[in-house]
Structure 1
């Protein structure tokens, strides 16, 4: 029986933001064992160069130093030795995000992709990790939250955990600290809720009750007969901060960041916009348990984390998930129809305001995610489209199109369940992993599963740049689509303004807008409008005193040069969409109920 690869991870001084890690291989390769750290993390499609955070690294075997030679930016080769061979290294962890690693006196968090070197040639064998408690009295109350299977550790305790291969090892993030903890059961699977950070009067029972509805509905959605979750235990890990938002999916957990104000408060039953947003984020990441963690593009089966994995299908995996996240909120009654339609209208208006949607398809946006979507610059609104937001409208359009063509007999739900049965359910089969959804066959697969003719839609709205025709589709499903437009009474400056210290800075300038036509550029700092000083956060209030077609004199600093320009204000040209549930005719009401019906 092969020896497992063994790791240890701890920190003597969390205030230094450094993890101390070792990896031991009992029988290293005779010609020199090779180790490497991933360059990216699944679910976040950007080369992040995690190896840059390795501060020191050294090798040792039998009490003797083993020379390490760096082969490239994230790969090391040890000199030949008889073994066991141990590499010891330090990882700087000061990235408060869901993608990397973070450590201080208040908590510790890491993804395996940031801290665990892979041992080439041994990726398929068992991997054991010993998670150590930081030294000191201050850390006696710390616990460990992870869905890594326990070896000798107790649930939520420090000690040893085990993974059957390297892929599993790096797909279970770890949170350490004094966190709030609650649990619920959804169709036989335990679900834990972990909240790190100070959150006064956190209403955990309410949060669990709402999440339980969402989780049970999604499990039943994919497995209507067995209602069996693809994992026996799931953990929602949330880091609550003053202002933040983000999530990253894993096979049996999700790492989340939210503003503490978004979490529910004991004794306050009202549902805030922030809480709805947070529940939508949880719903999104939970849906990924099926859609992308198990149903995945062929190029991700398996992942190659050393280099980019190009796919044109993220509109399906992220866009469809973005469609179903809020849809499950309304199907479960967590939000009502009116609030769902408000969220949908907000997405529609957000997509319509970006001119990049006319230049880039969602398929191209997906393929170029590595260099465009995840590396947005000041020109992004003019050049790219989001495969998340427009992808969700593509999913909505496909759903309504399938329902209309099949007279309600089929829907996008059938497509998702079919993809699960064909490409996802056997993710942990004896052969390893499912083959993945093939790029060139996705249209044919969707048509087969839906019984609808979708080529025209696919050509126009997925590989093409046409807007999804929701104004044509929604009324038949009992939803009024109003884009009256009229002239927006509010003047539009044509730029996105952000705070830069005490200054108001132009972060983006929209092509064809008043600011662009006047010659303003991203990076310019507003000084004054018509002789009145502009300060950070004060520009919108000042602009509100003007009307469309007014001309204003603007002073800006570009670098260290003071420039004066004349801006003629106008409306933004986008006709804002509002959606409303229609009361009649009865047939359209029934169609809407079938689409937004409550899930089991």
Structure 2
């Protein structure tokens, strides 16, 4: 018997209370008792987040009569047996201002499907209809989403309107976030594919034309990378358009990829404004974020590790390949800015040098490989504490350097005939292009060396073992000169140092991290200590520490007083010189 589509109705009904009302109508429920679940995590953000905790009320009914429903585990519910159509009505509290959850107030509603759509167990492969309803208190709000309109349905939504939308299955349903409100919007096409950029939040005099022109170049370059012959965007079959949803705040930063859209957060100071030619480095940071999330349209949304094909949204999905899916993406994000002409080589080398410097400062790279970091994302990388810089390595940043090293190695060994681009295209052809229409298999855990050799003819197995599965630094001092780029180190700016990271909190200057082996570590200071005085002089904020230390030389001994909890403690510290941790990349001038 053919089953009807799952029917959802969504209404942000209490804007000041940040609440969303959802109804799920299920025809032909399990006669033995229908169970439901809500995802415990959202793909792209590898942490169990327990979205179900935000469901405030839930009840079930059939033909107007109550049906018993009870919670059976953290993320699951079970209804009593019911033979007729079953309605589940529930209220979601939506006050998570992030790219991962749901956020509703008087200005907008942003909804990730993992926060609001219950999944009937055993029915995840069935099509879904979603009716988006206007908030009663809001006027002139429009809808922005990559969910396709339900063509042919009597309540089919028009573009940006309320009404019925459709998804082919539950996985697609939760992969098209929804923005409602009155944002600033700009549109462009890249190789014929429609793109929409939506900016929510206060952003005066936003230079939308400049943003659209720059992002269009980035998108076009990435489409051409993966589809050099057809220049066809991967989302055209499933959505028909791509939507960038950006929440503008005072100091936000972050992104989360979806199959035909991305959710972004950015600081308004990083966005260009009308009448100002120099948008600054902050704008390049924003463009790098855009480039990163758009590259995920191919690399992780369609080319996936086998552990994600399919996702199990009720528990952690472990893989040792995030250094490929996040690290390679982090390598290409800034590289695509250069290739598209949005930045020049000097800017690119400056951004690359910053990444190299950051990786070099992290002592955790000697204790953890990027493959181990990938596997431990759920319990360590996404749960960082005061000791994380000493214990962890980032599969984003060091992963990007592994990608850079592989790219240079391939180019050099093949005399410039092959590159990492060829690897990405092979992975796209084999695992990504038909992921949602074919078998949907993912990249095996141990496949990268073989894939690289097949795509380029270059054997990189030893390189991968040493630098991805091992803990050796990528030898960029010897690799970058093969591209004509010199890598040098200079002493970090500033005077003597205590080798710690500080934060100002509630009127105190607190130690956030004590770097292993440094002055503070040897002297006995600990994270959480509140600095009071150095040699009897009061500490006034984190910036004040540097001013006090400017009167000393490396090797001097200073008395440091701190409060540890409510106890005053005194320590003697020997100051260190700044380490040689600033990377400088440059292309030497040709002799002549």
- Confirm whether residue 530 of structure 1 aligns to residue 535 of structure 2: yes
Counterpart in the other structure of 1:355? 363
Query: Alpha-carbon deviations, 1:511-550, whole Å to 9, x = none?
Result: 1111111111111111122222223343333334433222
Question: How far off is 1:569 after superposition?
Answer: 1.2
- Confirm whether residue 514 of structure 1 aligns to residue 496 of structure 2: no
- RMSD value, Cα: 1.4
Distance 1:235 1:545 in 2: 53
Residue correspondence of structure 1 range 232-243 to structure 2 within 5 A: 232=236, 233-243=241-251
| Correspondence for 2:575 among 549, 569, 572 | 569
Aligned residues: 581
Distance 2:445 2:26 in 1: 38
SS in 2 for 1:15: coil
Distance 2:106 2:493 in 1: 51
| Correspondence for 1:345 among 332, 348, 353 | 353
| Correspondence for 2:183 among 168, 179, 182 | 179
SS in 1 for 2:541: coil
SS in 2 for 1:307: coil
Counterpart in the other structure of 1:597? none
- CA, structure 1 residues 543+24, in 2 after alignment: closer, same or farther (shift >3 Å)? farther
SS in 2 for 1:492: coil
Residue correspondence of structure 1 range 85-104 to structure 2 within 5 A: 85-104=86-105
Counterpart in the other structure of 2:431? 423
Mean alpha-carbon deviation: is it higher for 550-559 or for 394-403? 550-559
Question: How far off is 1:451 after superposition?
Answer: 1.0
Distance 2:501 2:7 in 1: 50
Query: TM-score, normalization: structure 1?
Result: 0.95
- Confirm whether residue 558 of structure 1 aligns to residue 587 of structure 2: no
Question: How far off is 1:434 after superposition?
Answer: 2.4
Counterpart in the other structure of 1:476? 482
8 Å CA contact 1:338–1:581 kept in 2: the answer is: no
Question: How far off is 1:90 after superposition?
Answer: 1.1
Distance 1:543 1:24 in 2: 66
Counterpart in the other structure of 1:145? 144
Structure 2 spans left out of the alignment, 5+ residues: 151-155
Residue correspondence of structure 1 range 440-519 to structure 2 within 5 A: 440-485=446-491, 490-519=495-524
- CA, structure 1 residues 189+451, in 2 after alignment: closer, same or farther (shift >3 Å)? same
SS in 2 for 1:347: helix
Mean alpha-carbon deviation: is it higher for 487-496 or for 435-444? 487-496
Distance 1:541 1:140 in 2: 53
SS in 1 for 2:232: coil
8 Å CA contact 1:488–1:571 kept in 2: the answer is: no
Mean alpha-carbon deviation: is it higher for 51-60 or for 251-260? 51-60
SS in 2 for 1:7: strand
Mean alpha-carbon deviation: is it higher for 214-223 or for 543-552? 543-552
Distance 2:111 2:505 in 1: 30
Distance 2:590 2:170 in 1: 56
8 Å CA contact 1:40–1:113 kept in 2: the answer is: yes
Counterpart in the other structure of 2:153? none
Counterpart in the other structure of 1:316? 324
Counterpart in the other structure of 1:121? 122
8 Å CA contact 1:25–1:83 kept in 2: the answer is: no
Distance 2:287 2:85 in 1: 48
8 Å CA contact 1:353–1:574 kept in 2: the answer is: no
Counterpart in the other structure of 1:374? 382
Counterpart in the other structure of 1:541? 547
Counterpart in the other structure of 1:5? 6
SS in 2 for 1:376: coil
- Confirm whether residue 226 of structure 1 aligns to residue 230 of structure 2: yes
- Confirm whether residue 201 of structure 1 aligns to residue 205 of structure 2: yes
Query: Alpha-carbon deviations, 1:455-489, whole Å to 9, x = none?
Result: 1111110100000000001112111111255x866
Counterpart in the other structure of 1:336? 344
8 Å CA contact 1:57–1:89 kept in 2: the answer is: yes
Question: How far off is 1:572 after superposition?
Answer: 4.2
8 Å CA contact 2:244–2:262 kept in 1: the answer is: yes
Distance 2:422 2:58 in 1: 51
Distance 1:424 1:213 in 2: 23
SS in 2 for 1:57: strand
8 Å CA contact 2:271–2:279 kept in 1: the answer is: no
| Correspondence for 1:165 among 163, 166, 169 | 169
Structure 1 spans left out of the alignment, 5+ residues: 587-600
Residue correspondence of structure 1 range 272-283 to structure 2 within 5 A: 272-283=280-291
Distance 2:546 2:290 in 1: 32
